[in-house]
């Protein structure tokens, strides 16, 4: 279809990041876990980890993210015609988190809101975003805006080396025409496959089963396939085949920051003159890994390093991870220099599902969007309460022991929550969850 028949500049009009009010320092965790100094801070590239007590679950994170996105952007709930949640932190096998968030729409009398939850490990937020974009460009679109929420709480068993790769948070995105972050139409490379690299077969536990080495291989192979597909789409359109040089930033899903460095080195090797895909494979998985990362360091620091600010300080937020990376990059560049930037995005979810797509930054209320985002992120990081590693471990023990208990009254300290946070006030004898907001 001729571009004149599409809504103009469809993409992300606003973003809001929810950061947990509690965090633990990764250096403290190294000492507590009795591992070598630098194992988490250097080996994984992590500085801090945000986490939630039993007062918060995916529903409360979504309630907080949507309510603050609406309030901070002067919206009415009547303005929204689609709401989708991407998450893997499910609390019910049937009832979607989206339906819980609908309680926010009741006062406006708006019950005509399409969309439900989308789930596949860390990819759910991207699938939800693609659905919202497609709705906006379809015959079903009624002219209203869409909201996408990516939210998760990543926790791992005590004593597991994976526990240091946890985190929690949410990113809410307002989607529609006239966007500041325009998703490039027709440029998307997707790769799907069947793998057991990370999965959650035990429905009575929040903890996943992880094959770490397989997961890294799956992530990097998916990146290869998506990147090749994206570049092929460029060629089909008659565009120059785009390598890293065509992007001002490249944002990756970040289970931990060191993996992102490997991923960027891999793409750099594939783009470099005279290097083949097999050379890239060797550079990112073999003895030349450190050398490959060293060769790509200037490109990493310019294009990807700034996107890891939240990943390093909050941790892995699963579906929200790649979008917290997008937010981090936007905050690293003066707003007056953002317009016209092109951002590559790699989203990965184990099991597996993955895509590479691109965003062009447009000057559609851009400065105001970035200013609001900066205020929310800065306030979240600065107001947090630091827990000791012992307090962190105790809080996660309470989450584990209380999972699926009913009736249940959460034991977490509400005074430590940020104002405006929705929280779980209790679970009744019929296992219905009740939520209140801290004023």
Active site (catalytic) residues: 88, 122, 253
Report the relative pairing of strands 198-199 and 181-192 from DSSP bridges.
unpaired
Q: How many CB atoms lie within 10 A of CB 367?
A: 14
Give the residue from 131, 189, 147, 187 showing the smallest Cα distance to 12.
147
277-285 and 212-236 helices, crossing angle to 10°: 150
Q: Two tokens at 360?
A: 């062009």
Closest CA to 395 of 163, 210, 208, 203: 163
Degrees to nearest 5, angle at CA 121 with 119 and 124: 45
Annotated ligand binding at 262? The verdict is: yes
Residue-wise DSSP of 311-341:
HHHH---GGGHHHHHHHHHHHHS-GGGTTT-
The answer to whether the annotation marks 303 as part of a ligand binding site is no
Structure tokens at 311: 């990943």
Q: Is position 215 annotated in a ligand binding site?
A: yes
**H/E run at residue 367:** helix 366-382
Instruction: Show the beta-strand stretches assigned E in 99-215.
Output: 117-118, 145-154, 167-176, 181-192, 198-199, 209-210
Residue pair 337/295 in contact by the 8 Å Cβ criterion:
no
β 167-176/145-154 pair status: antiparallel
| Dist CA 110 CA 126 (whole Å) | 25
Q: Are 250 and 303 in contact (CB under 8 A)?
A: yes
Helix, strand or coil, per DSSP, at residue 228: helix
Q: Which of 5, 8, 70, 69 is nearest to 364 (CA)?
A: 8
Summarize the annotated binding site for CoA as residue ranges.
Answer: 215, 258, 262
Summarize the annotated binding site as residue ranges.
Answer: 215, 258, 262
């Amino acid at each position: 279809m001729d571009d004149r028949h599409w809504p103009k500049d469809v993409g992300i009009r606003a973003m809001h990041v929810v950061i947990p009010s509690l965090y633990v320092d990764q250096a403290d965790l190294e000492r507590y876990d009795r591992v070598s100094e630098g194992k988490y801070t250097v080996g994984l590239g992590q500085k801090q980890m945000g986490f939630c007590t039993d007062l918060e679950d995916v529903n409360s994170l979504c309630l907080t993210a949507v309510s603050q996105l609406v309030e901070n952007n002067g919206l009415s709930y009547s303005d929204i015609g689609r709401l989708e949640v991407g998450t893997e932190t499910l609390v019910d096998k049937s009832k979607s988190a989206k339906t819980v968030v609908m309680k926010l729409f009741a006062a406006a009398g708006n019950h005509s809101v399409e969309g439900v939850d989308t789930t596949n490990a860390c990819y759910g937020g991207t699938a939800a975003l693609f659905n919202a974009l497609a709705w906006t460009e379809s015959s079903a679109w009624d002219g209203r805006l869409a909201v996408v929420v990516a939210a998760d709480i990543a926790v791992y068993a005590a004593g597991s080396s994976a526990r240091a790769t946890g985190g929690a948070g949410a990113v809410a995105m307002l989607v529609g025409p006239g966007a500041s972050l325009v998703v490039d139409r027709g440029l998307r490379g997707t790769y799907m496959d069947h793998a057991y690299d990370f999965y959650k077969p035990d429905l009575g536990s929040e903890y996943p089963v992880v094959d770490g080495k397989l997961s890294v291989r799956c992530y990097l192979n998916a990146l290869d396939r998506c990147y090749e597909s994206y570049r092929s789409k460029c060629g089909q359109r008659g565009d120059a085949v785009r390598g890293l040089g065509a992007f001002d930033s490249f944002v990756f899903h970040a289970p931990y920051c060191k993996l992102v460095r490997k991923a960027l080195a891999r793409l750099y090797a594939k783009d470099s003159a005279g290097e083949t895909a097999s050379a890239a494979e060797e550079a990112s998985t073999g003895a030349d890994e450190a050398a490959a990362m060293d060769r790509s360091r200037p490109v990493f620091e310019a294009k990807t390093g700034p996107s890891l600010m939240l990943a390093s300080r909050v941790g892995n937020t699963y579906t929200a991870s790649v979008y917290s990376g997008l937010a981090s990059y936007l905050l690293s560049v003066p707003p007056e220099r953002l317009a016209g930037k092109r951002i590559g995005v790699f989203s990965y979810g184990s099991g597996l599902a993955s895509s590479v797509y691109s965003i062009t930054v447009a000057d559609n209320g851009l400065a105001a969007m970035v200013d609001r985002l900066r205020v929310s992120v800065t306030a979240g990081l600065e107001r947090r309460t630091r827990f000791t590693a012992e307090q962190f471990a105790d809080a996660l023990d309470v989450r584990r022991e209380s999972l699926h208990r009913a009736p249940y009254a959460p034991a977490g300290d509400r005074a430590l929550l940020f104002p405006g946070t929705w929280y779980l006030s209790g679970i009744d004898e019929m296992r219905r969850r009740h939520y209140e907001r801290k004023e």
